[in-house]
Amino acid sequence: MFKPSKPATDPDLFAQTDHLLSGQAADQFSDPNAWHNQFYKHIKTQIDESIFEVLFDQRGGAPNAPVSVLVSMMILKEFFGWSDQQLFEHCRFHMLVRKALGLTNMHDPVPVESTYYLLRKRMYEHNRSLDQDLMEQTFRSITSEQMHSFEINGRRLRMDSKLFGSNVAWYSRYELIHRTLRAFCKELDQAELSGFTVKQREQLAGFTQEQPNKVVYNEAKAQLTDRLQQMGGLIYKLLHSCAEWQDQESWKLLKRVFDEQYEVISEPEQRVELRSKENISSDSVQSPDDPDCTYRKKADQQVKGYVANVTETTGNDQLNLICDVRVEQAHTSDSAMLTPSLEASEAVTGTHPEHVYVDGGYQSPDHDQSWPQTDFVYSGIQGADPRYEHTL
């Protein structure tokens, strides 16, 4: 069951950490500007635990560990780049880290590993099933409070994007189709291939037993094309023979790869044809190991993965705050991310953006219509460099 926690544990007269230090160490420990006290004040205590109530069963059970501590641990882990082992060591034995978490006494317990992992699992499953990112909601809530605390306005914003690759191999077209087919066939039994001829069974067995990278290395282009055609016909038959598998992720992935790489020609007779590479979209599957990653070429950079778009306040004397971060598939253009990023930033800052500083990739006539009271300042223009230079 869900139970809200206190910002900090109740101090113990004989175990309070502050009482165990003296001199310069005590001054540094209690310094309000030190990172651990700043983290506690502006992050840990600002975490709205009620957001996470949906993850717990309200009908009964043992009360949860302090959610604000667990979420703060996740933030610290990513900020410092710690491994899980290092995270728990620091939380148990590092006095500054414990102070940042609101653990004021030496004997205050740290949530155990299983509790930490269980909350992460529930957050992930909640996000997958309902498309609600609780960490994102927490981030926005904390930032909104910081906007008020530091008197930051959101009238001036700047944003930029960064491509980053997924940790997948760069597969050839043959390897991509082959690996997807083989992964699906591993889940089948022979009874589900009853509609296949002996020759088709032999072809399917041959494909699932070979190593695709060796085939690509040894076979000529014409031979690879013939093998791709054979695989297309077998995949088409598999998808129809195993239609009861439509709810399985492996079937959905095989169907998606087939639709992206092949087309079914109905006249004069139904047959499967390999699509030309020019007709394959950049949002097609790049790896069966990470179906969400897509392809994009930006300037001289080629990436199979994702694009991150970051929006922050600018022009403030004290500091600038990140008010929106979104991660999309790599093929998503900068221009397509501008409006949702500005809308999210406006909700966080509570202020309509008057000036937005971006590069030329964000240019679009639609933005001037959607944001008539916003002045977009572009650092460049889209397109290739001009061939001629005109001077007056």
- Given this model, what pLDDT does residue 22 score? 87
- Given this model, what pLDDT does residue 387 score? 63
In angstroms, the first-to-last Cα distance of the chain is: 74
As a whole number of angstroms, the distance between CA 385 and CA 89 comes to 53
The DSSP string of 353-375 is: -SEEEE-GGG--HHHHHH-TT-E
Does position 384 have pLDDT exceeding 70, yes or no?
no
Query: In this predicted model, what pLDDT tens digit does every residue of 305-323 receive, in sequence order?
Result: 999 999 999 987 768 999 9
**Region for 283 from its dihedrals, namely left if φ exceeds 0, alpha if ψ lies in -120 to 50, beta otherwise:** alpha
Torsion of CA 309, 313, 315, 316, to 10 degrees: -150
As a whole number of angstroms, the distance between CA 45 and CA 139 comes to 13
Query: Tokens at residue 17, please?
Result: 């950490």
Query: What separation in angstroms does the CA of 4 have from each of 42, 63, 68?
Result: 18, 9, 9
Q: In which element (H, E) is residue 58 found?
A: none
Question: Mapping DSSP to helix (H, G, I), strand (E, B) and coil, where does residue 164 land?
Answer: strand
As a whole number of angstroms, the distance between CA 248 and CA 235 comes to 15
% the chain with pLDDT above 70: 92
pLDDT class of 381 with cuts at 50, 70, 90: low
Query: In this predicted model, what pLDDT tens digit does every residue of 264-302 receive, in sequence order?
Result: 987 677 788 999 988 898 899 998 889 899 988 877 778
Does position 391 have pLDDT exceeding 70, yes or no?
no
Does position 184 have pLDDT exceeding 70, yes or no?
yes
Q: In which element (H, E) is residue 378 found?
A: strand 375-378
* Tally of CB atoms within 10 A around 133: 14
Residue of 319, 320, 302 whose CA lies nearest to 311? 320
Given a contact cutoff of 8 angstroms between Cβ atoms, the answer to whether 253 and 293 are in contact is no
Query: Tokens at residue 91, please?
Result: 């939380």
The CA-based angle 61-63-67, given to 5 degrees, is 135
Region 22-46 average pLDDT: 93
Given a contact cutoff of 8 angstroms between Cβ atoms, the answer to whether 348 and 140 are in contact is yes
Query: Tokens at residue 281, please?
Result: 């979209």
- Given this model, what pLDDT does residue 112 score? 94
**Helical segments of the chain, H only:** 23-30, 35-42, 67-80, 84-93, 95-100, 113-130, 134-149, 173-185, 198-209, 212-218, 221-241, 249-261, 334-349, 365-370
Region 206-217 average pLDDT: 73
Who has greater pLDDT, 47 or 9?
47
pLDDT class of 198 with cuts at 50, 70, 90: confident
Residue of 227, 204, 201 whose CA lies nearest to 214? 227
- Given this model, what pLDDT does residue 13 score? 74
Mean pLDDT of the chain: 87
